[in-house]
Amino acid sequence: MAVTPKTNISMADENHRSVEFTVSFSEMDKLFDKNIGEFRKQVSMKGFRPGQVPKQLFVSRFGDEVYRETVERVVNGDLKNEFEKIVETWKTDEKLEIAAPAEQGELQAERGQDLVYKLTIALNKPLVAQGYKELGVKVSAAVVAENEVSEVIQDVRKRFAKEVVANRPSKLGDIVKGKYLKQVIGGEEKILPENPVFGIEISEEMSLKDLKEALIGLSAGEEKEFSISYPNDHQSTELQGKTAEYKIAITEVCELELPALDEKYFSMVGAKDEEDFKTRITDDLLKDKRQRVRQIALKEAFDKLIEKNPFPVLEEQIKFMAEKSLQRQRSRYSQQENEEEEIKISKEQLDAMRPEVSRFIQEDRLLHSIIEQESLKPTQAQVDAKIQELADSARMDFATVKDAMRKNGQINSIRENLKLELAQNLLIGEEA
């Protein structure tokens, strides 16, 4: 180190530690004097040759700037490096975990005085999960009914259906096309869009009963006025809990002409025949159901495990994880050049994300404790099975996918995710 600070370590509570560094005025003065010498060599002033500006004149003109540079070098170099070494000893000797990186420290750096710099960090105490094998939670059996398969087959057929104009009033199963003539929401008339057209299928699954009833029995060329009472939990916040009045003009009523279940159709959907098509649909439905019942069982298991193993979830960690989540979202969806810019979360965003992030931290810490206690590691066969699953999903060769994942380090991520999965299996009594 270029400096030898006095170090004072304090604990605000069992999860927060502070390190205060004090660098004496004399040491800072020596570093300042050294930097003055370095900068003088680089500065030219009118009337003096390069590097020959008198020291007193140089200090009077640039002293404050050079001192700020000196402070920055000491704080961001020597003191932060020393802080990291101290934190590393806590991790090694006391098995403490960093909950979140230390935030910007408190700095006193007046020229002519001792420099004082204080950093505070949030730390998680070691966690040893208890009772994770006695939760009594089991995954319910997943069963696929024949009518569920039939519904999926019908939905898939609709994707390939042709719309045929029906010269009759609309009925269930038809597609009604038209345009809006008027919209009044919550008593306020809205300006219609430039092209106010719509096309709506009248189906049994329609959540708005008022809309379904209004669209049945209409013919092309007909106009109709009707109202819809929207529920408080409607997906559009503008419509939640409001009554809207509409006036529409019907331009066309179409019925769906479904494709025949023949060889041509099965070829289009990537199946050999009807039996193969049904088998694939059943397998997909079963996979989804198993995942859902697994998640239900895991939630129950974690509820019990968290109750058995209470520990504080630190606000600094919640904030750090929430910001990381927002950063990942930006990186995934943003095309802006500054997408790597650090995100600062707002209070409103943090309040909205806090329950979910807090729960994630609880579950994650418990799982990692179980992994450590049980020395859980996936077998090579389990890793290969996961890679095979990804290869099948992408319709790629297993060896090609595995080689690519080995080169970019993704196999390590698979291993870590499988460790978490193995720990989850212990909670719900499932075999690896």
Tens of pLDDT, residue by residue over 81-134, are 999 999 999 999 999 999 999 987 899 999 889 999 999 999 999 999 999 999
Do 115 and 185 have their domain in common?
no
Tell me, yes or no, whether 96 and 171 share the same domain.
no
> How far is residue 397's CA from residue 388's CA, in Å, rounded to a whole number?
8
Question: Beta strand pairing status for 97-100 and 106-108?
Answer: unpaired
Q: How many domains does the chain have?
A: 3
CB 113 within 8 A of CB 27: no
Other residues' Cβ atoms within 10 Å of the Cβ of residue 43: 14
Q: Which of 257, 286, 320 corresponds to the end of one domain?
A: 257
The rounded percent of the chain whose pLDDT value lies above 90 is: 80
Express each pLDDT in 272-308 by its tens digit: 999 999 999 999 999 999 999 999 999 999 999 999 9
Residue 279: how many CB atoms within 10 A of its CB?
14
E strand or H helix at 65: helix 55-73
CA distance 371 to 394: 30
Q: Could you give the angle at the alpha carbon of 182 between the alpha carbons of 178 and 185, nearest 5°?
A: 120
What's the pLDDT at 337? Answer: 46
Sign of CA dihedral 259, 264, 265, 269: negative
Is residue 192 located within the same domain as residue 86? no
Coil/strand/helix, residue 341: coil
Give residue 309's pLDDT band: very low, low, confident or very high (50, 70, 90): very high
Task: Tell me which of 124, 141, 173 is where a domain ends.
Answer: 124
390 assigned to some structural domain: yes
Query: How confident is the model at residue 64, as a pLDDT?
Result: 85
Residue 426 pLDDT: 93
Q: Are 131 and 366 in contact (CB under 8 A)?
A: no
Based on the fold, state whether residues 107 and 25 are members of the same structural domain: yes
Q: Which two tokens stand for residue 221?
A: 């060329």
**Residue 334 scores a pLDDT above 70:** no
Q: Alpha-carbon distance 152 to 159, whole Å? A: 11
Question: What is the percent of the chain where pLDDT is above 70?
Answer: 94
Q: What is the CATH number of the domain that holds 68?
A: 3.30.70.1050
Specify whether 109 is located in the same domain as 10: yes
Q: 186, 170, 67: which is closest to 115 by C-alpha?
A: 67
Listed residues 257, 283, 301: the one ending a domain:
257
> Would residue 48 count as lying in a domain?
yes
Give the model confidence (pLDDT) of 24-52 as tens digits: 999 999 998 888 877 777 666 666 666 66
> What integer best gives the mean pLDDT of the chain?
91
CATH of the domain at 184: 3.10.50.30
Specify the pTM: 0.77
Please report how the helices 25-40 and 55-73 are oriented relative to each other, as an axis angle in degrees rounded to 10.
120
Are residue 13 and residue 99 in the same domain, yes or no?
yes
Task: Decide if pLDDT at 13 tops 60.
Answer: yes
17-21, 67-71, 72-76, 342-346: segment of lowest average pLDDT: 342-346
List, as one string, the DSSP characters of 403-423: HHHHHHTHHHHHHHHHHHHHH
In a domain? residue 130: no
Q: Please indicate, yes or no, if residue 403 is contained in any of the structural domains.
A: yes
The per-residue pLDDT for range 365-406, each reduced to its tens digit, is: 999 999 999 999 999 999 999 999 999 888 899 999 999 999
Predicted local confidence at residue 87, as pLDDT: 96
Residue 282's H or E segment, with its range, is helix 274-308
Query: So what's the pLDDT on residue 298?
Result: 97
Rounded to whole angstroms, how far apart are CA atoms 197 and 304? 52
Q: Which two tokens stand for residue 181?
A: 């003539």
For tokens 């989540």, the residue is 325
Whether 181 and 114 map to the same domain: the answer is: no
* Residue numbers of the domain that contains 403: 376-432
Tokens of 259: 């494709």
Nearest Cα to 97, choosing from 215, 15, 166, 200? 15
Q: What torsion do the CA atoms of 330, 334, 336, 337 make, to the nearest 10 degrees?
A: 60
Contact 258, 164 (CB under 8 A): no
Indicate whether 116 and 190 sit together in one domain. no
Provide the H-helix boundaries in 132-273: 146-159, 209-215, 263-268
